[in-house]
Amino acid sequence: MDAGLSGLSGLSGLSGLDLPRDAPGTGPARAPAISCRNLQVRFFTEHRTITALQGLNVDVPTGEFLTLLGPSGCGKSTLLRVVADLVQPNHGEVRVFGALPQVARLNRDIGFVFQDPALLPWRNALQNVELPLQVAVNRVRRAKATPRELLELVGLKGNERAYPHELSGGMRQRVSIARALASDPKILLMDEPFGALDEITRERLNEELRRVWRELGITLLFVTHSIHEAAYLGQRVLMMAANPGRVHAIVPVELPPDRTPALRESREFIALTSELRRLLGAC
Ligand SMILES: Nc1ncnc2c1ncn2[C@@H]1O[C@H](COP(=O)(O)OP(=O)(O)OP(=O)(O)O)[C@@H](O)[C@H]1O
Ligand SMILES: [Mg+2]
């Protein structure tokens, strides 16, 4: 059973967390957080060449919550990896705050959360969150919130000393989100982070993540296979198609910013998810 879900309610008193961050790009003339122009990524294997992304254009404004949806193999993870400077494009241009992804990587501007939380089993929750601050002591920027406060932010107050095997899957994923936030990233990339969780835990984490995002003013790219998750979380949904991986549609999410569980039952939400399902079927 997942626990500690009330963690965000008392956060306004935490130093620094209630203030807008000094993220770049908030002025009208600033570069978007992420900009991709005519992006192409090819992988050359022994037997064949795979075009993972072809002619992909997208701008992600600073502070946006963008969800990515699309069939398996359409290049969602590859796109995140290009932004994180883990994969180099063959053609086209990627800019993160107007500079090369490498600059963002060296500045520690980007945090990554994967489907597998990959916590160190011999470190407790707090020690796992502290890890990025300990491995690159001089280079890393520290979040205004301490690791302990970040655990509170993700709803794990009281679980600081628990070891990964003592935590549920949802709690482990919360630890990995706090760990990604510890080095104060301006962009958080999340690749199917809740894919392995049961529906109820996942919906709770969706609400928590929306609150964390609003609290921190971070730019968030979130990959999912769930139409409901994409609609509930995002301000826009980037729908991709496969073979080659490309943008199929960019769908604005015109739902109120305060997303509550009741919204999932609403007419607008059902209309949006039907539209996304229709588009996904045409990918
Ligand atoms: N390192 C790699 N070497 C060779 N091919 C790769 C590599 N990484 C990805 N690919 C190929 O690129 C394409 C896009 O892969 P990617 O993992 O980005 O898709 P995805 O949309 O994230 O899929 P999924 O929803 O299944 O996670 C696939 O055909 C995949 O096999
Ligand atoms: Mg993937």
The tally of domains found in the chain comes to: 1
Q: How far apart are CA 184 and CA 190, in angstroms?
A: 15
Cis? peptide before 89, omega within 30° of 0: no
pLDDT at 16 over 80: no
* Residue 268 CB neighbours (<10 A): 13
Q: How far apart are CA 47 and CA 37, in angstroms?
A: 29
In a domain, 2, yes or no: no
| Sheet (strand 49-60) strand order | 49-60, 34-44, 91-96
The residues lining ligand 1, judged by C-beta closer than 6 Å to any ligand atom, are 43, 45, 50, 52, 70, 72-78, 245
Assign residue 257 the CATH number of its domain. 3.40.50.300
Nearest CA, atom 4, ligand 1: 43
In a domain, 1, yes or no: no
DSSP track, 49-105: EEEEEEEEEEEE-TT-EEEEE--TTSSHHHHHHHHTTSS--SEEEEEETTB-HHHHH
Surrounding ion ligand 2 within 5 Å at CB are 77
In a domain, 160, yes or no: yes
In a domain, 259, yes or no: yes
Q: Domain range spanning residue 64?
A: 11-31+40-281
Q: Quick check: 72 and 78 in contact, CB under 8 A?
A: no
Nearest CA, atom 1, ligand 1: 43
pLDDT one-digit tens code per residue, 43-75: 999 999 999 999 999 999 999 999 999 999 999
- Report pLDDT for 128: 97
Q: How far apart are CA 6 and CA 218, in angstroms?
A: 21
Q: Quick check: 65 and 220 in contact, CB under 8 A?
A: yes
Q: Measure 251 CA to ligand 2 centroid, in angstroms.
A: 20
Q: How far apart are CA 224 and CA 201, in angstroms?
A: 15
What is the C-alpha R_g of the chain?
A: 18
Q: Measure 192 CA to ligand 1 centroid, in angstroms.
A: 14
- Report pLDDT for 29: 55
Mean pLDDT (the chain) is 88
In a domain, 136, yes or no: yes
Q: Among 38-42, 64-68, 228-232, 254-258, where is mean pLDDT lowest?
A: 254-258
In a domain, 70, yes or no: yes
In a domain, 3, yes or no: no
Q: Which tokens sit at 45?
A: 């294997």
Q: Please, which pLDDT band fits residue 139 given cuts at 50, 70 and 90?
A: low
- Report pLDDT for 118: 93
**Percent of the chain residues past pLDDT 90, beyond the cut:** 76
Q: Measure 57 CA to ligand 2 centroid, in angstroms.
A: 19
Q: Which atom of ligand 1 is nearest to the CA of 240?
A: 21
Q: Measure 130 CA to ligand 1 centroid, in angstroms.
A: 31
Tell me the average pLDDT across 181-198.
93
- pTM, two decimals, is 0.89
